[in-house]
Structure 1
Amino acid sequence: EHIEGKKPPVGVLDITLYRDDLSSLSYQPIVHQTELPVNITGKTTIVLVDDVLYTGRTIRAALDAIIDMGRPKAIQLAVLVDRGHRELPIRADFVGKNVPTSSHEVVSVQLSTIDQAEKVVIREFRDEK
């Protein structure tokens, strides 16, 4: 907004039904509303923003959802944290911080608008099974 002099349109994308692990998540998944304020077909660039880039599967689902809604000329990816361990050939165009982690760790991004704190938390994953 500062550079262009106008506020870019911002939307929310629900990828629940595009996930490849949908059947293992829940018997009745909770689907939220997707809100795109503009038609994305022909848009010069769509910037997809996510908190943590890990395997790439969430981004793959988001790309499928975007393409179902229109065909922009380009899609770029911005992530706050890239933790590696990719399973798909996906890379971010913009990365806030690269954080090497083990596959036994969980990375959570907390934002003040939701969590009343701004921080990245890395904790050991405990399988409850």
Structure 2
Amino acid sequence: MEPGNDDALDIIITNVVATFRVRCHLNLRTIALEGTNVIYKPEIGKVLMKLRKPKITASIWSSGKIICTGATSEDDAKLGARRLARVLQKLGFKVRFSAFKVVNVLAVCSMPFGIQLVDFTIKNRPIAR
């Protein structure tokens, strides 16, 4: 494709995954009992918490590590992480937001041509597996 061509690809970010730490121990049972939109998974040792705006799902571990998924931009991921930290703070934990990092971005696009996956893989080893 040439610059300025109207056939530009529409790339749509569908999921941004980010991690951060709150630098304090979190009592998962307290979060499960007092938090809202929470699913407690004691067999795995984590709590899932959902926020509506921005729409994210957070996996929370007692160590204070949190993984946020479902955001559609890096800014939304950071905003969601900060809002989640604030929710935990309001539940009585001594939260200190730190080590925020975007770890994965998933996007989709429709190509203007078909892709022969076998040929593509053979021609692009070792990066295509």
TM-score with structure 1 setting the length = 0.32
Which of the pair has more CA radius of gyration? 2
Greater helix proportion? 2
Higher strand share: 2
> RCO greater where, 1 or 2, for CA within 8 Å and sep 6 or more?
2
Scaled by the length of structure 2, what TM-score is found? 0.32
